[in-house]
Chains A and B, each alone.
Chain A
């Protein structure tokens, strides 16, 4: 049988993949995609906890699913603004490579 721990482990591995992507890759667009992976890993563990926390009437805990709904909405807004910034930056500098964009570097 599949246990809660299996879902949490899969979610943890997915989060780590996303985190490694943010740390290792140098292309802003790929970094945004890796951020999406991390958000989705968090969503997976939220939904898993929701399913395994059944109240006496036999329904899963829907609060977690509402929370996942909010997370997805905020992620969509974040991607829209993030990609708009990438486009503005590309227009200014002709690059999406983060090592070429160091004006704020101290």
Chain B
């Protein structure tokens, strides 16, 4: 992965991430989020995490974003009418976010391992689906079962919440 490609995709991810926050139209926000997630998937690929990159495209850019767009269109949200923006609250929120970013940068700047470049991998590591699958069903079997229950509960919860009251 060349340095050039890394910065292209990183910039793409960040620019469309900002677009998610500043767009007034929810549909435009959701579509910016899709592009941001695709660029993030490219960054995962650059880190040799092919399985995670593909999961990112399938689950996030595919399933979750379809869910978002579906709800936005179901609720028929147009670009929200211009309300009086509470500037004090917005400035406060931005200040807290900037303080957080400064702190993150300070920590990374002091982190000595942050300057290392890519360590070389063995040739046999391209089958990362195999490796992750082994780990998932071996070391992490119990959490894997629990995550299945979590999804079941989420499904039942979503159905219960969106069901109309019948009497």
Contacts and interface: CB of A to CB of B under 8 A. Distances in A.
Contacts, number: 236
Interface string A32-75: 11101100100110011011101001111011011011101111
A65 B17 contact: no
**A contacts with B: majority SS:** helix
Interface string B71-95: 1101101001001000001101110
A43 to B, nearest CB: 8
15 contacts: A1-B118, A10-B13, A17-B21, A30-B20, A40-B60, A43-B40, A44-B40, A44-B43, A58-B124, A62-B132, A63-B135, A66-B135, A72-B59, A77-B153, A97-B83
Given A51-B49, A90-B75, 19 more contacts: A2-B117, A3-B116, A4-B114, A8-B104, A14-B17, A17-B17, A29-B77, A32-B68, A33-B68, A37-B20, A44-B43, A48-B47, A50-B49, A54-B119, A66-B139, A68-B49, A77-B150, A84-B157, A84-B162
